[in-house]
Structure 1
């Protein structure tokens, strides 16, 4: 997964988000927010099935333009995008299953990698 390690401040511009192609997860919050900290393992667990999916973490707060564009009121707010447009939203997710269900709306989970057994050859 391609995750922004920290909440970016000031975060990307609205036109950069609108220009995204394919599926992406936009997460609004702050590093000091207890709800945001509690959500991190849930988000990480759900994203494990979507390697390579961009996960953009944006520090939000009063007067932050990107958060206002997306009408963010509580943290964390997860905005699920496809081609730069909002498809789904979760506010303060309660489970990894909730996050996984929203992710499934923008991108199918990656197929698990397994060992392939070749058929035995007759002598």
Structure 2
């Protein structure tokens, strides 16, 4: 699991081109909702060290978040072969994250 948000956004086409499961997380390091969700996200991602996880710092003027219609942080988008399969917005427990992870894993 990636631990820090990056300001280096991957291109939309590179995300759409990923084969297999991947997760894109939008948020900000100073966001209290994002900070509160990190232990839940870490719990859900336990044992999934090989899963591509892109942790993107979002905000004004950041086009990738707008392309994915992100309105609240954190938003985790679960992809399978570049297609959105599930989305979790401001998770309050690890369970919805674990369900979404199972969904992208089951799609293989």
TM-score normalised over the length of structure 2? 0.92
Gaps of 5+ in 1: 109-123
Runs of 4+ in structure 1 displaced over 4 angstroms?
A: none
Query: Which of these residues, 84, 92, 117, is aligned with residue 82 of structure 2?
Result: 84
Q: 1:74, 1:91 within 8 Å by CA — same for their partners in 2?
A: yes
In structure 1, the residue corresponding to 2:64 is in which secondary structure? helix
> What is aligned with 2:99?
101
Cα separation, 2, equivalents of 1:5 and 1:44: 9
1:56 counterpart = 2:54: yes
> What is aligned with 1:4?
2
1:31 counterpart = 2:10: no
Q: Deviations over 1:49-75 (max 9, x none)?
A: 423111110000112111011000000
Cα separation, 1, equivalents of 2:3 and 2:45: 14
Pairwise CA RMSD of aligned residues? 1.2
Gaps of 5+ in 2: none
Q: 1:87, 1:106 within 8 Å by CA — same for their partners in 2?
A: yes
TM-score normalised over the length of structure 1? 0.81
